[in-house]
């Protein structure tokens, strides 16, 4: 089975909940890996900051609780969505993206992209829809399916069995 490389190469608009639209670069392996690394680095730095505060007796009430693995994973995913947004979003539009101080359209900044990705429904839809073209390639059957488990389960044998040239070694008494 052949892999047809028909992934988008040009920016495209993605419709998100609440009337928000974002124009994004296509997702690439490098962009995805960079976003994952950025999120992991930020979570690690935050965990170290929390530990440092606790060590000197400073309060940590204003920081997320990263001691719970589920919350830590959730926070990491939120940072991943924001990192993807920073890397991919070129422009945005929609009635919901306003500067609260002026009621005017908010400028496209890293801080504002991060704030947008704090809305769970938006972040989930953004990541899902950014990944959608890759999923469509897989759904079309344009990639090879993984082999079942086992060393010979992936295909038919092409070699004849080896001849036994000597008797097996005797068993220990």
In this prediction, residue 163 has a pLDDT band, given cuts at 50, 70 and 90, of low
User: Is residue 154 over pLDDT 70?
Assistant: no
pTM: 0.70
Question: Half-sphere exposure (CA, 13 Å, Cβ side) for 77?
Answer: 16
Q: Place 133 in a pLDDT band, splitting at 50, 70 and 90.
A: confident
State the pLDDT at residue 173: 57
113: tokens are 């992209």
Taken in order 137, 139, 140, 145, the sign of the CA dihedral is positive
Instruction: State the pLDDT confidence band at 82, using cuts at 50, 70 and 90.
Output: very high
Average pLDDT across the chain, whole number:
81
- Predicted confidence at residue 124, as pLDDT, reads 95
Q: Any idea which of 36-50, 106-120, 124-138 has the lowest mean pLDDT?
A: 124-138
CA dihedral 111, 116, 28, 139 (to 10 degrees): 170
């Amino acid at each position: 089975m052949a892999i047809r490389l028909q992934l988008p190469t040009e920016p495209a608009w993605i419709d998100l909940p609440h009337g928000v639209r974002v124009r994004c670069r296509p997702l690439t392996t490098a962009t995805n890996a960079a976003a994952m690394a950025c999120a992991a680095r930020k979570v690690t730095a935050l965990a170290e900051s929390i530990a440092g505060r606790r060590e000197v007796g400073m309060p940590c009430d204003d920081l997320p609780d990263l001691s719970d693995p589920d919350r830590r994973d959730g926070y990491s995913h939120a940072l991943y969505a924001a990192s993807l947004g920073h890397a991919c979003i070129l422009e945005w539009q929609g009635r919901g993206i306003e500067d609260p101080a002026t009621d005017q359209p908010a400028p496209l900044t890293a801080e504002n992209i991060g704030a947008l990705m704090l809305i769970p429904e938006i972040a989930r839809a953004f990541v899902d829809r950014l990944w959608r073209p890759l999923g469509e390639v897989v759904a079309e059957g344009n990639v090879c399916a993984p082999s079942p488990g086992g060393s010979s389960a992936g295909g038919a044998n092409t070699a004849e069995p080896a001849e036994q040239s000597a008797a097996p070694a005797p068993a220990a008494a």
